[in-house]
Amino acid sequence: MPLIIADHLGEGHILLDLQGDSKVAVLRELCQAVFSNQPGPTLEQALDAMLEREALGSTGIGQGVAIPHAKVPDLDELRIALGLSRKGVPFEANDDQPVRLLFMIAAPVNAESRHHLQVLARLARMVRTPRFEAELIGLETPSNIQRFIRDLELEMFENAPR
């Protein structure tokens, strides 16, 4: 199975210091990183899709983590962004704690649901590992974060005993 997270999380999609102080503001920052100056959907189309999904229920999974995700019209490939908020953002998470770590997943409307769900499942497992947040927060560059995620994905899903 390929590295679906590491292969879709480019360095330019890793934001080390989200400035927004609301759910909408940080989702806008993440969408801007992924959809500005790119072919396909506009930032507004992507943000609208994310907000429509959030209206169904918060994607804040607790422990300072949110995994906002949506199928975005006119998108031809999976795109993933990661944002860190040093101050935390109210996100209506299931534990009512502010979110500091956000993984945003944008999937094509016509994509196999299984692929989108596989990304969600992997991320949910990865962020729950005891070392994940502590190690990630200590990394200071997008390239180091990308390498850490690639190594963890390999360790957990590719090189794990079957």
CA dist., res. 122 & res. 38, Å (int): 26
Token pair, residue 71, equals 């199928």
- The answer to whether 115 is a known catalytic residue is no
pLDDT of 162 higher than 60: no
CA dist., res. 45 & res. 75, Å (int): 10
Q: What angle do CA 132, 98, 62 make, to 5 degrees?
A: 55
Top-confidence residue, 115 or 31: 31
CATH 3.40.930.10 given to domain 6-158: yes
CA torsion 94→98→100→104, rounded to 10°? Answer: 50
CA dist., res. 130 & res. 18, Å (int): 23
Active-site residue (options: 8, 69, 115, 116): 69
Q: pLDDT digit string (tens) for 117-161? A: 888 999 999 999 988 988 988 899 999 999 999 999 999 987 655
pLDDT of 113 higher than 70: no
What pLDDT was estimated at residue 4? Answer: 79
What pLDDT was estimated at residue 50? Answer: 97
Token pair, residue 66, equals 């949110």
CA dist., res. 45 & res. 65, Å (int): 24
Q: pLDDT digit string (tens) for 49-108? A: 999 999 999 999 999 999 999 999 999 888 999 999 999 999 999 999 999 999 999 999
